[in-house]
Amino acid sequence: MKFKCSIFLVLIFKLFFAQNNSVDTLKEYTYTDLKDKFYSYNSIDKNKEARLISQYYLRKAKKENNKDQISEGYVLMHFNENQANALKYLDSLAVSTKNSTKNTYPARVYLLKGNIYFKFDNQVKALENYLIGLKYAKEKKNVRQIAIADICIAHMNNYVGKHQDAIKTFRYYLYNTDYLHESELQDIHLNLASSYQDINKLDSANILIKEGLQFTKNDEYLHNKYLSLFGLSCLKQKNYKTAIDSLTKSKKFFLTKNNDMALNYALMYLGRSYAGAGQKEKAVENFIKIDSVVKKTDNSFPEIRDVYTYLIDYYKEKNDKEKQLYYIERFLDIDKRLDSQHWYLSKELPKKYDTPNLLKEKEDIISDLESKRTILYLSVGILIIILILLSYLYFKSKKREKEQIKIAQELIQKVHENNSIQYDTLPQPEPITFEQEPETEQTPDQKEETKDKNTSIISEELTQSILRELEIFESKEQFLNKGITLGSLAKKIKTNSKYLSEIINTHKRKNFAAYLNDLRIDYAINRLTQDKRFRSYKIPFIAEELGYNNEQAFTLAFKKRTGIPLSLYLKEIDKAKDKNV
């Protein structure tokens, strides 16, 4: 059950504002105010008030020659008219918006016509107009109108028993859209609950019904629709007493409203509840009321067949042939119409709606697969590049490691070649020296200039004196003392920092910091290679022994001097010692 004749597109504009029952002051309102008041009245079936507003709205728009508002006036006017007049207003809407550049037209005209045909039980024409409206909505890429058309067609799927298809549509738009109004989502919520009842998924239906009863406490109209659904759930669970209580309330409410279809469903469920409880007379009373409503409005619905078969059997049992014949004729008349519409919808829905949707879904799947395939190829390509890069870095790292091992082995060999005696037997080991980078060749003029410059600053005698002091500094391993600076060393050898710095730069071809670090690292290389005990110390202690303030300064100086990490050098020493054992 869907309350299927409710006009879904009314909800596009539906907002809830405080009501003012007087329409004598309409001149004070803007078009927006008038429209809001119209939909507020229309949503609670105050048709007289709504019609007065729509009539004034259209007159005002025509008087002002406001074409856009004239179109809106035709929309408002069509809602509370009979089928013929409603279609005339929509035809006028089509003419007035023929050259409109808005993306709502012409789809809006066809969707509204579809609702009118649906309301007056012409499902064939309703489907035709919904499909045309959907086509134009897709052309204009109007997602809201596409949603409205899909939802209207979902109602028709319910009509022909394709409840799963309807549920799929309702669920999608209820949980995956942010462009539908709250009132539209409430309508979808209601119809999803009803669709779950159609396939007897009562747990899912009851969850939605409970939610609906909660959030519609301030909306008496919608609340009673949920109350009808609650009654149906109780009926399906054979809880007839609770079903009768709920449906009686719903029936009383809709008797005062202009919603015949909602009333018919409340009456039908109430009658079935009485029948289930064994109260046949009360069941018949409600079913007869349904027939009178259907006869008056000429609007049928698929479930009404069961109403007539019950009445036929009831009067057959009572041997009331006159009434039995009457309801047989009513049944045959309604059944013929329902069969005709059901046959058409069952044939056309798959061909004109399901198949195009499936083809689009197929195209989307193919496009998605192609995108995934492209992403896969791209990912594989990136992975290959990463593997190549990692392989390159790995082999480069291995090559560098081999080069560093070779350097370490050469250093160890050089230490042994220069001095094969163990270090702890020597009072003063001679530090190894490293090959210096070849001095850049100078021109004769440059040599002369350098010579003149040097001799003009420091005398040869002073130079030799300082060099002798440096030899003593090196031989006595005073470079191992902590806190040595250029100033402190200059003071010790009784010269100034400037002279000492210049002589170190000229004769040692390095600045003071490099000179001091090289002495310490050369010493470390010798002693680490030959002194097993010294080698067993922790790095911070070794650093302190060499005059460094911390481990990091030592390891950085070692790497800078040798080009290899300290850890690798120590590892290679151990390997060399193991081979010699």
Helix/strand/coil (H, E, C) string of 70-128? Answer: HHHHHHHHHCCCCHHHHHHHHHHHHHHCCCCCCCCCCHHHHHHHHHHHHHCCCHHHHHH
Query: Domains in the chain and their CATH numbers?
Result: 1-174 (1.25.40.10), 446-580 (1.10.10.60)
Residues 348, 349, 354, 360, CA torsion sign: positive
**Structure tokens, 159:** 């009509």
Cis, peptide link before residue 106, omega less than 30° from 0: yes
Q: How far apart are CA 115 and CA 43, in angstroms?
A: 15
What pLDDT is stored for residue 343 in this prediction? 63
Q: Is 504 strand, coil or helix?
A: helix
Q: Can you give the pLDDT of all 581 residues of the chain as single tens digits?
A: 444 444 343 443 343 333 344 445 788 889 999 999 998 888 777 888 899 999 999 999 999 999 999 999 999 999 989 999 999 999 999 999 999 999 999 999 999 999 999 888 888 888 889 999 999 999 999 999 999 999 998 988 887 888 899 999 999 999 998 889 898 999 999 999 999 999 999 999 999 999 999 999 998 989 999 999 999 999 999 999 999 999 999 999 999 887 888 999 999 999 999 999 999 999 999 999 999 988 888 777 788 888 889 999 999 999 999 999 998 998 888 888 777 766 666 656 565 554 455 445 556 666 776 788 888 888 888 989 998 988 888 888 888 878 888 887 788 788 777 753 333 333 333 343 333 334 445 555 544 444 444 444 678 888 998 899 999 998 898 999 988 999 999 898 888 989 999 999 999 899 999 999 999 999 999 888 888 888 889 999 999 989 898 999 999 999 998 888 988 888 888 887 766 65
pTM (2 d.p.): 0.58
CA distances from 232 to 204, 237, 265, 419 (A): 14, 9, 10, 105
Q: Is 459 strand, coil or helix?
A: coil
Q: For residue 298, is it left (φ>0), alpha (ψ between -120 and 50) or beta?
A: left
Contacts of 324 (CB under 8 A, 6+ apart): 312, 315, 316
For residue 285, count other CB atoms closer than 10 A to its CB: 14
Q: How far apart are CA 262 and CA 190, in angstroms?
A: 13
Contacts of 273 (CB under 8 A, 6+ apart): 231, 234, 235, 240, 243, 244, 247
Terminal alpha carbon distance of the chain: 95
Contacts of 503 (CB under 8 A, 6+ apart): 458, 463, 466, 467, 470
Runs of H (alpha helix) within 160-219 = 163-175, 182-198, 202-215
Q: Is 412 strand, coil or helix?
A: helix
Long-range contacts at 327-334 (CB < 8 A, ≥ 24 apart): 327/291, 330/291, 330/295, 331/305, 334/294, 334/300, 334/304, 334/305, 334/308
**Structure tokens, 306:** 């069961």
What pLDDT is stored for residue 289 in this prediction? 94
Give kind and range of the element (H or E) at residue 232: helix 220-236
CA distances from 60 to 70, 71, 284, 352 (A): 8, 12, 50, 41
If we measure between CA atoms, which residue out of 566, 580, 560 comes closest to residue 535? 566
> Are the C-beta atoms of residues 165 and 155 closer than 8 Å to each other?
no
Q: Is 566 strand, coil or helix?
A: helix
Burial class of residue 204 (count of CB atoms within 10 Å of its CB; 0-12, 13-18, 19+)? middle
Q: How far apart are CA 158 and CA 165, in angstroms?
A: 8
> Are the C-beta atoms of residues 39 and 152 closer than 8 Å to each other?
no
Contacts of 183 (CB under 8 A, 6+ apart): 11, 14, 15, 43
Q: How far apart are CA 377 and CA 387, in angstroms?
A: 15
What pLDDT is stored for residue 21 in this prediction? 40
Report the residue count for the chain.
581
Degrees (nearest 5) of the Cα angle 302, 304, 308? 140
Largest CA distance in the chain: 149
What pLDDT is stored for residue 232 in this prediction? 95
Contacts of 297 (CB under 8 A, 6+ apart): 260
